[in-house]
Amino acid sequence: MARARTLLAAAAALLAALVAARALLWEAGGGGRAAGGDIRLGSAPRLALEPLGGKREALEALGGKREALEALGGKREALEALGGKREALGGKREARACARLRAAVRVPTVSREGPGAADEVALLRFGRLLREEFPAVFESELVTHDLVANFSHLLTVRGADGGRTPYMLTAHLDVVPAPDYGWDVPPFSGEIHQGYIYGRGTIDDKHSLMAILEALELLLQRGFVPQRTFYIGIGHDEEIGGDKGARNIAKVLESRGVKLDFLLDEGMVILDGVVPGLQIPVAVVGVSEKGSLMLRLRVRTETGHSSMPAKESCIGILSAAITRLESNPLPQQFGSGPERALFEYLSPQFNFPMRVVTSNLWLFGPIFSWVLGQKPTTNALIRTTTAVTEFHAGVKPNVVAPLAEATVNYRIHPAQSVSEVLRLTEEIIADDRVELEVLSSMEPLPISPFDESATGYWTISKSITDTFPDIVSAPGLCIANTDTRHYQKLTSALYRFTPVWNKLEDIPRYHGVNERISLQNYKQTIHFYFNLMQNADQEEPLIKHFHTEDL
């Protein structure tokens, strides 16, 4: 009888795994719930969201007023139309905050590669904008402002207890180029359209920068004195590596002997409907960051007239090499990085039978990782990804090409290294005629602590809960690169999160067309940093804890 029960339990577990796999594949193939639609927002007790009700229906109603909003032209009347009055955003203060973000978007602080490519006029103009819009910050006796590398900014906010270890918040003011083609509104207009602020930088990363300063401005106006010192670092060239901005900010702090308790930068976001089978949105806090390797593949052959070609051309040889790379993805690393912790943290929030699978990854790990590998957004979490991004060859139609080149971009999982990926590439190509040249490389960053003793992680997690009580937070892997790599000498607790709501349809907006943030979401972003600056002091009693009703 005992053996029969064991066999029955094993059969039931296998059936659950198969059903879960089928469900996951259904979602991975696009058969799940639609990516578009509403944004689900929690109604935090301290958030003044009553005019919008915090409900999905209210947001859907706002989204249906397209013609009315367009007719209003994105002006103050548009804000009134969103809720029948300006208080729909929580009053005049929130309306002014949105106006300041729009003003920041209108300054085209575009980063480009090459000497002399920086738009110094725009960078200087942006610095003036910050000083003009946040007088309580830049005129406070508690705040010291350092201009770094001409265009980056370091703010030191002095705490009452000099014996406590400081922390740091970082963001960047530069953006990637934004051609006009494909946008619903001009990319540097900052226009309001259907309840969203559109423009380059609205989610990468001017929203974080402005929200941090908005939160500090509000607190200082109310007489807030932090218990411990903290720093705000604003880089001006993150989009091209941060070598002048963040790197020099870090050097300034290193020269002063600063050590940080933790650092929070941009990176991961709130995912809604992106993780298959998850019943509620999840705020993913990046506790590690992928490395990168940029390779140039090159094949040289004899040129000549196309009427007398050799058996193999450089184009054919290189194409075969690329086919081998794309047909042989690097090994999955599920369980070797923070991705397993992500799903274990989220396990109670999955529907059945996914809950069974994620609660027993010791058993179902292999099938679960295989399913994750079927979808680009989740495949990136479990392995080093291979992307062929460029291919160049040929001189004219009737000439055999003498040279073919391609660029391959790897994003390296924390369980691997640059040297290992380079070795695996050579083994997969297995053709000495293909030359490999390393254009750039960066090792993956170490995994930052997220256990019970990790005060930085739990400060961020608590601030997420305070702002969004109806979602869950979990540690995860940041698949993009950020400025955090420049601050590794200051702390081992590097975290990456900004409270932007993302559905599947929103992911292409990063560095793409129609980048946008909802008015409601930007307000919540301010509240998140407002909560964080106070929660960071909670190791000792607060003199006063301000609530968002005060706003």
Residue 540 falls in the annotated catalytic set: no
Architecture of domain 56-276+448-550: 3-Layer(aba) Sandwich (3.40)
* Residue corresponding to tokens 């490389």: 441
For 493, the token pair is 């607790």
Neighbour tally for 397: CB within 10 Å: 6
> How far does CA 94 lie from the centroid of its chain?
24
> How far does CA 205 lie from the centroid of its chain?
9
b/e for 332-350, b at 16 or more Cβ within 10 A?
Answer: bbbbebbbbbbbebbbebb
CA distances to 155, 322, 357 from 119, rounded to whole Å, are: 23, 37, 52
- Measured between its terminal Cα atoms, the distance across the chain in Å is 66
- What pLDDT sits at residue 166? 98
Helix (H, G, I), strand (E, B) or coil at 484: helix
Contact assessment for residue 299 and residue 319, using Cβ atoms and an 8 Å cutoff: no
Element (H, E) at 113: none
Could you tell me the residue ranges of all domains in the chain?
56-276+448-550, 287-442
Neighbour tally for 2: CB within 10 Å: 6
What DSSP character marks residue 550? G
Q: Across the beta sheet with 435-442, what order do the strands follow?
A: 385-393, 403-412, 291-300, 435-442
Contact assessment for residue 423 and residue 449, using Cβ atoms and an 8 Å cutoff: no
Please provide the CATH number assigned to the domain covering 287-442: 3.30.70.360
Neighbour tally for 354: CB within 10 Å: 27
Residue 537 falls in the annotated catalytic set: no
This prediction has a pTM of 0.82
- HEC sequence for 215-240: HHHHHHHCCCCCCCCEEEEEECCHHH
Per-residue pLDDT of the chain (551 residues; tens, 9 = 90+): 444 444 334 444 444 444 455 545 444 444 443 333 333 333 333 333 333 333 333 333 334 444 333 333 443 333 333 333 223 345 789 999 999 999 999 999 999 987 777 899 999 999 999 999 999 999 999 999 999 999 999 999 999 999 999 999 999 999 999 999 999 999 999 999 999 999 999 999 999 999 999 999 999 999 999 999 999 999 999 999 999 999 999 999 999 999 999 999 999 999 998 887 888 999 999 999 999 999 999 999 999 999 999 999 999 999 999 999 999 999 999 999 999 999 999 999 999 889 999 999 999 999 999 999 998 988 999 999 999 999 999 999 999 999 999 999 999 999 999 999 999 999 999 999 999 999 999 999 999 999 989 999 999 999 999 999 999 999 999 999 999 999 999 999 999 999 999 998 999 999 999 999 999 999 999 999 999 999 999 874 334 445 555 55
- What pLDDT sits at residue 277? 85
- DSSP secondary structure string, 449-469? P-STT-HHHHHHHHHHHHH-T
- What pLDDT sits at residue 549? 52
Contact assessment for residue 548 and residue 48, using Cβ atoms and an 8 Å cutoff: yes
> How far does CA 451 lie from the centroid of its chain?
22
Q: What whole-number distance in Å separates Cα of residue 446 and Cα of residue 192?
A: 40
Neighbour tally for 379: CB within 10 Å: 17
- What pLDDT sits at residue 54? 38
For 397, the token pair is 């139609």
Ligand-binding annotation for 239, yes or no, is yes
For 379, the token pair is 């495949």
Q: What whole-number distance in Å separates Cα of residue 179 and Cα of residue 365?
A: 43
Q: What whole-number distance in Å separates Cα of residue 544 and Cα of residue 537?
A: 11
Contact assessment for residue 349 and residue 472, using Cβ atoms and an 8 Å cutoff: yes
> How far does CA 515 lie from the centroid of its chain?
13
Ligand-binding annotation for 431, yes or no, is no
Ligand-binding annotation for 265, yes or no, is yes
The CA-based angle 339-167-489, given to 5 degrees, is 70
- What pLDDT sits at residue 7? 39
For 156, the token pair is 């030191």
For 185, the token pair is 């509104």
Contact assessment for residue 342 and residue 474, using Cβ atoms and an 8 Å cutoff: yes
Find the catalytic residue in 27, 237, 238, 483: 238
- From the list 524, 533, 525, the residue with the least C-alpha distance to 459 is 533
Pseudo-torsion of CA 128, 132, 137, 143, nearest 10°?
Answer: 40
Ligand-binding annotation for 392, yes or no, is no
Ligand-binding annotation for 204, yes or no, is yes
- The reply to whether omega before 226 is within 30° of 0 (cis) is no
Find the catalytic residue in 27, 94, 133, 174: 174
- From the list 403, 453, 463, the residue with the least C-alpha distance to 433 is 403
